[in-house]
């Protein structure tokens, strides 16, 4: 049986500053092995997971600055299919870019947009969910997003409030989205999980090109107008120059805030499966097997009289003695030490290095 025709876009941007010192400008997080003990990069894992959904080659959306490291990781065909962003402009511009490309290349087939930095299991359920989302998008005038049934009151994710039931598949149910909720307080997250009716926002989208483009034109014209001027040159030699001019005009804004929270027709597929947004060392720890004292380690590590530590020895040896609840990451001659729960603040170290002119530790 032939596979459905889907324009598959993979969001592969981001600098990975929260993964310093492993993450550098030449080694962004999507090129790091951060999903448990799997030696493959997050991007390689994503390509393997979604590649069987359609015979259409995936299109990666990534900053042009990452072209060189991507060429080391990907085949020539995959690199040639990349949609290079002239500079980072957050996810609204990235999703709009693949939507407009799909509109030009294959306007009658759905666009499916997946991030390159998520943990999912089982993979079979994830693939069925993506296929169902694309099928629903093909038959509706809605933007379809992935919603995960929460199994704990996470405060680091956005939430979707369920509206009316609109369709049902073996993998899950489609509901209208009543509203988006930003990362909640611990008290509110507990209420969401206890009361039901809320899902984690999986940051994954399916839509017909004209549906998303209409939403961008309506709610984010400061992205739509420059993008449309650039796409007048799509397929021509000066498209990259036109796109760079467009990106100079566009704001950096997330697709959720700029489009999804305001769009009139948004649906979600409610799925029960393992899912995590791998956004920090704290998140990585959740997918490493703990020892009897709750320590989670990778690489050449010695742990003595310590509890609840996360240790990642990418190069060299790391020993920890008599400590609790710390994160230690070693890459070559550079070491990060912080308390658990401070994963989001690692980017502050990177900012300090930037202002101090320590480019040698950032490249």
Give mean pLDDT in consecutive 10-residue pieces for the chain, a chain of 363 residues: 90 86 89 92 94 92 90 86 94 98 97 96 97 97 97 92 97 97 92 94 97 98 98 96 98 96 96 93 92 96 97 93 97 92 89 93 89
- Domains, the chain, ranges and CATH? 7-277 (3.90.550.10), 288-361 (no CATH)
Angle between helices 221-231 and 209-219 (to 10 degrees): 130
Instruction: Report in angstroms the alpha-carbon separations of 127 from 65, 171, 204, 331.
Output: 30, 10, 12, 34
Alpha carbons 60 and 58: distance in angstroms, whole number: 6
Q: How would you class 2 by CB atoms within 10 Å of its CB: exposed for 0-12, middle for 13-18, buried for 19 or more?
A: exposed
pLDDT at 344: 82
Determine the Cα angle at 188 with ends 183 and 191, to 5°.
130
- Residue 118, number of CB atoms within 10 A of its CB: 22
Residue 257 sits at φ, ψ, to 5 deg, of -70, -40
pLDDT at 1: 66
Per-residue burial over 289-316, b = 16 or more CB atoms within 10 Å of its CB, e = otherwise:
eeeeeebbbbeebebeebbebbbbbbee
CA nearest to 21, candidates 314, 344, 282: 314
Structure tokens at 178: 């009543």
Alpha carbons 41 and 53: distance in angstroms, whole number: 20
Greatest Cα pair distance in the chain:
64
Instruction: Report in angstroms the alpha-carbon separations of 316 from 301, 330, 335, 363.
Output: 9, 7, 11, 20
pLDDT at 26: 82
Q: SS3 for 36-73, per residue?
A: CCCCCCHHHHHHHHHCCCCCCCCEEEEEHHHHHHHHHH
């Amino acid at each position: 049986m032939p596979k459905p025709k889907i324009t598959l876009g993979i969001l592969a941007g981001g600098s990975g500053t929260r993964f310093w010192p492993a993450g550098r400008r030449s080694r962004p997080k999507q090129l790091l092995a951060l999903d448990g003990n799997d030696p493959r990069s997050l991007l390689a894992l994503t390509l393997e997971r979604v590649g069987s959904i359609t015979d259409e080659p995936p299109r990666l959306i990534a900053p042009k600055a990452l072209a060189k490291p991507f060429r080391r990781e990907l085949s020539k065909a995959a690199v040639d299919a990349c949609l290079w962003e002239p500079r980072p402009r957050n996810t609204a511009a990235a999703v709009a870019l693949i939507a407009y490309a799909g509109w030009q290349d294959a306007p009658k087939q759905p666009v499916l947009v997946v991030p390159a930095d998520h943990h999912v299991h089982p993979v079979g359920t994830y693939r069925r969910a993506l296929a169902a989302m694309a099928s629903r998008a093909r038959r509706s005038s809605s933007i379809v997003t992935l919603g995960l049934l929460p199994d704990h009151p996470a405060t680091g994710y956005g939430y979707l409030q369920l509206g009316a039931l609109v369709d049902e598949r073996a993998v899950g149910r489609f509901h209208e989205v009543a509203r988006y909720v930003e990362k909640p307080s611990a008290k509110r997250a507990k209420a969401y999980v206890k009361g039901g009716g809320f899902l984690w926002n999986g940051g994954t989208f399916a839509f017909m090109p004209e549906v998303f483009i209409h939403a961008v034109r309506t709610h984010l014209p400061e992205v739509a107008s420059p993008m449309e001027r650039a796409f007048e040159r799509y397929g021509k030699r000066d498209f990259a120059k036109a796109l760079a001019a467009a990106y100079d005009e566009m704001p950096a804004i997330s697709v959720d805030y700029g489009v999804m929270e305001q769009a009139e027709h948004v649906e979600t597929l409610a799925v029960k499966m393992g899912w995590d947004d791998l956004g920090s060392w704290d998140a990585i720890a959740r997918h490493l097997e703990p020892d009897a004292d709750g320590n989670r380690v990778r690489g050449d590590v010695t742990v003595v009289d310590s509890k609840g530590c996360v240790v990642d020895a990418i190069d060299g040896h790391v020993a920890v003695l008599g400590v609790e609840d710390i994160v230690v990451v070693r890459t070559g001659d550079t070491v990060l030490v912080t308390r658990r729960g401070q994963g989001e603040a690692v980017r502050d170290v990177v900012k300090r290095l930037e202002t101090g002119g320590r480019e040698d530790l950032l490249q």
